[in-house]
Amino acid sequence: MLRFLQISNDTLFIYYLLSNVIYFGLLITAIFKNVVHRRRLASQRLELLKASPFTPPITLIVPAHNEESFIVDSVQALLKLDYPSLEVVVVNDGSRDLTLQKLHEAYQLQAARLLYIADIATAPLRAIYRSPVEPRLLVLDKEAAGSKADAINAGLNAASSPYVCVVDADSILEKESLLRIVEGVFSDPSQVVAVGGIVRVLNGCRVVHGELQEVRLPKSAMEVMQVIEYLRAFLVGREAWASFNMLPIISGAFGVFQRELVKQIGGFRTHAVGEDLDLVVRLHRSLQEKHRPYHINFIADPTCWTEVPTDLKSLARQRARWQKGLIDALWPNRDMLFRARYGRVGWVVLPYMWIFEFFAPVIELAGYFTIGAALMLGVLSRSFFMQFLLFGYAFATLISIGSVLLEEMTYRRYNRWRDVARLVTYCLFEHFPYRQLTMVWRLQGIWQYFRGDLRWHEG
């Protein structure tokens, strides 16, 4: 028993050390990329990109299910985006409220006889509508299939542009977001097949008619914790992974893809719990198998603002769903692990996600029990335990504070010094009890997945 506890604790300490060292390496990489990005911003000329005949058309796909309260404002804001060639395809996914009626009233929708080829199978389409007052708008009315992915696939079938951008109906894009994200394509149009933008927390901000007027931190401590999580995930994690061409996910709330490439792999997997992660992993698989040079890019400047959960119940459901989505993407692609044909994706990022994302809550829970038992039985030195605890806390807090400082060095979305001070302060208190709650919710997601509960559980 004592020998088991000693081996277990040694393994856990090595695991947490590796986890922190890897994330610290990602932070250093992100800082370097941030410096390069700051130089790019200084020389950025969006008006040239807007006027260029080579700027590709983009179709915005907006899946909408029971969004009557803000669908009109959302569509109006999207149509006002600063982009030269834009099409908006709203997919009314079997809404039971007044979503479709609100669109009818606002845009005088008329039934259109358009050629719709279902290259990707979806739930049946009821009707297609055009607007005589806004020719860039196309509205699809379809039966619900119980998944966001099915609605997106219908939008893919109807899209006419070479690039598509999936946007949540309740999210807000900054006016120049599309121009900024398309710069990620212009960096190497022959190889860049997809680009992700950053998603930020909308809670606390002032919004008027679907347009962001003022950026503010939310008042709730739980929501501020999510702001820090989003900054860390995007400005550190995704920025760094993308620099090595190993980006495993583009947020379903804001990402640009080559339309034909997405259609070639069958579109979004309809029954995927996390359709965004699943799609990007499948893109990596397909392109690696074809030995095609490619890059999946991430640009931290174009911003999408989205509402995050405001109560514990909704947040718990979201985090359980995210964990289910992670497993649902990793398990079908487990054969990619340590296979030469899948390159660095199979050898680095997928093993990382298995070890430090999927198994993380299980290992953390086991660690609480084994370390506690070792302390009580005298197997583990109390002084060593306290030193390691302080080391782990300092390292993790450094990563969070680094994310906040990256935000302030380059993007400065939070202009009030009190907001910045609150963010830094909350970084110091992020690891108890919020971390433990997140662990529990992720464990619930694992339990739900393996007992066959793959429902969306929308929070």
Q: How far apart are CA 43 and CA 61, in angstroms?
A: 31
Structure-token pair, residue 18:
């590796």
Alpha-carbon dihedral 354, 151, 171, 134, rounded to 10 degrees: 150
Contact residues for 204 (Cβ-Cβ < 8 A; gap 6+): 216, 217, 218, 219, 223
Q: Are strands 110-111 and 172-173 parallel, antiparallel or unpaired?
A: unpaired
Q: How far apart are CA 325 and CA 278, in angstroms?
A: 8
- Residue 256: predicted pLDDT: 95
Per-residue pLDDT of 389-418, as tens digits, reads 888 888 889 999 999 988 887 788 888 889
**DSSP, res 89:** E
- Residue 385: predicted pLDDT: 86
Q: Where are the domains of the chain?
A: 45-311
Extract the runs of DSSP E, i.e. beta strands, from 172-276. Answer: 172-173, 192-201, 206-208, 211-214, 254-258
Q: How far apart are CA 259 and CA 218, in angstroms?
A: 36
The partner residues of 130 in beta bridges, in order of sequence, read: 110, 138
- Residue 61: predicted pLDDT: 97
Predicted structure pTM score: 0.93
The partner residues of 198 in beta bridges, in order of sequence, read: 303
- Residue 422: predicted pLDDT: 95
* Helix extents (H) in 81-158: 99-107, 148-158
Q: Which CATH number fits domain 45-311: 3.30.420.40, 3.90.550.10, 3.30.420.480, 3.40.50.2300?
A: 3.90.550.10
Q: Which residue stretches of the chain have pLDDT < 50? A: 457, 459
Question: How do the residues of the chain divide into helix, strand and coil, expressed in percent and rounded to 5?
Answer: 55, 15, 30
